[in-house]
Amino acid sequence: MACSTCTDGSTAGCKNNGGCATGGCNKMNVFDWLSNMEAPRNQKFDIVEVRFKNGRKDYFRNTSDLEIVTGDSVVVDVPNGHHIGYISLQGELVRLQMQKKNVENNDDIRKIYRKASLKDHEKFEKAKNRELPTLYRTREIIGNMNLGMKLSDVEYQADNAKATFYYSAEDRVDFRELIKVLAAEFKIRVEMRQISLRQEAGRLGGLGSCGRELCCSTWLSDFKTVSTNAARYQNLSLNPSKLSGQCGRLKCCLNYELDTYMTALEDIPELEGPLVTEKGAATLQKTDIFRKIMWFGYADESNWYSIDVARVNEILKLNKAGQKPASLQENEDKGRQAYFQAVNRDLEYMDKKFREKNKSKSKKGRNRNKNRRRKR
């Protein structure tokens, strides 16, 4: 997807000509669905959204009425100097984004100086080339000072006068002495900014277990708490290695389908104990939440019996009244029995498939042993 296209068909903005690579200029990108709705020139919203390193964004006022398009690099006013960023959004959608993030349209919003020139970019590249050596050296200093913090990223301003150090820590860290050492070592103004582990994963990026880029580095900006109950409601095994993301916390995607599961679970009865029949007590083995089917098994049998939620509620009522049905599947019509047989057929097919696999493996092992004996 190109950043922006001019009227003559040529690509404007970052000049990438329609090939924004993942993790590059499209990181934390926002689709401008109001781009085709032109407002009168004198009513155009004068605040634009500017993107910096690793998807960090801020808002600046276009006081000089510059002709800019999405993807253009601009020099902006920041505390104690200037910085270079890229236009990520403009127009009325910026007003909506500011309302969403509770950013007030007041005099605190700084301005855009100008479009970035070739000289500005050359100076900015020199500043960016200092980031990696600074990161490694700072980690050595932190290790020597025995500070309980993890430094994940360093961002230099375009004027090469200030650097922001992003770190994560479990407890409060006294880094006053560290700031003095860093300022003397690199001859810059130092800003320490603590970020959460989820924000750290979003800044660094990576691939999730689903094979896609991390949500926190591509589109997710609001991090909501994720509890283990989300996994329990979805019948997921509570395995920390499978439920944890790159940040070491529970995966954000556990919340995505939780509402659907909660709605489906309203029809599933809560069992305080086994279902009692004349054949014995049947305990719950498995629940298919969306099909509304529950599997029960007796202690002295290896078979599971699938019955629907309506039948489970019926048996629960009988048990409360002190009565025992003859069996779990009693009084069911032929159509319902045929349906459950089809469902059980899937389980039988999987069991048969794995049995055949094990047999083939054991045959191969026996044949290898025979061949070895013949060679001897």
pLDDT in tens, 276-325: 888 888 888 888 888 888 888 888 888 888 888 888 888 888 888 888 88
- For the chain, which residues make up each domain, given as ranges? 4-116, 117-223, 275-332
DSSP letters, 249-277, are: SBPGGGGTTHHHHHHHHTTSPPPSSPEEE
| 303-308 own/partner pairs: CB under 8 Å, 24+ apart | 304/344, 304/347, 305/329, 306/340, 306/343, 306/344, 307/332, 307/340, 308/336, 308/340
User: Whole-prediction pTM value?
Assistant: 0.68
Is the separation of the CB atoms in 62 and 68 below 8 Å? yes
The pLDDT tens digits of the residues spanning 36-77 come to 666 555 567 888 999 888 888 899 998 888 888 888 899 999
Q: Rounded CA gap, 117 and 126, in Å?
A: 15
Locate 345 and state its tokens: 């057929």
- How big is the CA angle at 47 (ends 45 and 52), to the nearest 5 degrees? 145
The pLDDT tens digits of the residues spanning 75-114 come to 999 888 899 999 988 888 888 888 888 888 888 899 999 9
Q: Rounded CA gap, 308 and 274, in Å?
A: 15
Q: What is the DSSP pairing of strand 280-288 with strand 275-277? A: antiparallel
Give the pLDDT mean for 246-267.
89
Is the separation of the CB atoms in 157 and 78 below 8 Å? yes
Give the pLDDT mean for 151-175.
90
